Amino acid sequence: MSIVPVEKVSGRTGAWGSDTVEEPAAPLAPRARLLPSLGAVYRAQLSRARVARIPLLFVATFQSVGIMVLMRGVVDDGGAEARAVVAGSSVLVVAFVALNLLAQYFGQLRASGGLDHYATLPVPPAAVVLGAAGAYASFTVPGTIVTAVAGSALFSLPLTHLWVLVAVIPLAGAALAGLGAALGLLAPRQELATLLGQLGMSAALLLGVLPAERLPDLIVYARDLLPSTYGVEALARTFDPNPDWAGVALDLTVCAGVGVLALAVATWAYRRAAVR
């Protein structure tokens, strides 16, 4: 009786086979590109935060308008101080949402293990940070416009150049959202991320709304380090009857540079937090 060797089936060596036949490796899915991934994360974050963030946006707008009403009793119409108050209050809406709420969101995401979900997705880390930052910054648009228009009417400022908000909102929003995301991702505990977000918004309130001429020199230096300062300065310049457009362009350029740096730091912080 002769023994017949078992044939090799499906690329595996039989019991009596002498050679190993390797199956070709399955091709990996192509890596997701940045822009499509960014759009997907942005839409998901926008849909998720739409219901929860609208009441908070109302609070941010009401807060900024209330500050202008309070300052109306000590600031004259149409002057440099009035321009600073209106510009600072308008950008404060951006700080409340893009800095404060985003710091709390990423702090909560890190504490709850939600970063593990994003780490399993085939999307670049920059898309997660930029998508979330863009979604939160988008919620600031209505409140910022309402605050700027109400402030202009309250302090008798011209509405002619409010179109500059088209540049101020995204640039200041990028800078403050990047800072908020970095604070939330680098904070070791969720409570500390919330505290840092609140402190950042308070800094934007005290250093942005109050006129620089009335602040001590040391506080003025701290004001220059705050990303929102340059958005405030750019908007305040446009309330002048003859705006210094070169100064406006310079402030917006600095704001854009700070925004790129802040978002880069936030992306690094996301990578650092996701691997832990």
Residue 77 burial (CB count, 10 A): 10
Quick check: helix, strand or coil at residue 12? strand
Instruction: Give residue 222's pLDDT band: very low, low, confident or very high (50, 70, 90).
Output: confident
Look at residue 182 and tell me if it is in a domain. yes
Look at residue 226 and tell me if it is in a domain. yes
Calpha distance 76→67 (Å, rounded): 15
Calpha distance 22→252 (Å, rounded): 59
Highest mean pLDDT among 3-7, 46-50, 232-236: 232-236
Instruction: Give residue 22's pLDDT band: very low, low, confident or very high (50, 70, 90).
Output: low
Calpha distance 145→91 (Å, rounded): 10
Quick check: helix, strand or coil at residue 242? coil
Region 162-168: mean pLDDT is 93
Phi, psi of 12 (to 5 degrees): -100, 145
Contact 274, 117 (CB under 8 A): no
Range of the domain at 154: 53-274
Percent share of the chain, pLDDT over 90? 27
Calpha distance 189→62 (Å, rounded): 30
Look at residue 252 and tell me if it is in a domain. yes
Region 185-212: mean pLDDT is 87
Residue of 200, 202, 65, 66 whose CA lies nearest to 142: 65
Look at residue 161 and tell me if it is in a domain. yes
Percent share of the chain, pLDDT over 70? 85
Q: Is the pTM of the predicted complex or chain greater than 0.85?
A: no
Residue of 183, 174, 127, 139 whose CA lies nearest to 48: 139
Higher pLDDT, 118 or 152: 152
Long-range contacts of 244-249 (CB under 8 A, 24+ apart): 248/164
Look at residue 36 and tell me if it is in a domain. no
Look at residue 2 and tell me if it is in a domain. no
Average pLDDT of the residues of the chain: 81
Region 30-53: mean pLDDT is 72
Residue of 276, 275, 272, 266 whose CA lies nearest to 128: 266
Alpha-helix residue ranges (DSSP H) falling in 72-113: 80-94, 102-112
Q: How many domains is the chain partitioned into structurally?
A: 1
Look at residue 192 and tell me if it is in a domain. yes
Look at residue 7 and tell me if it is in a domain. no
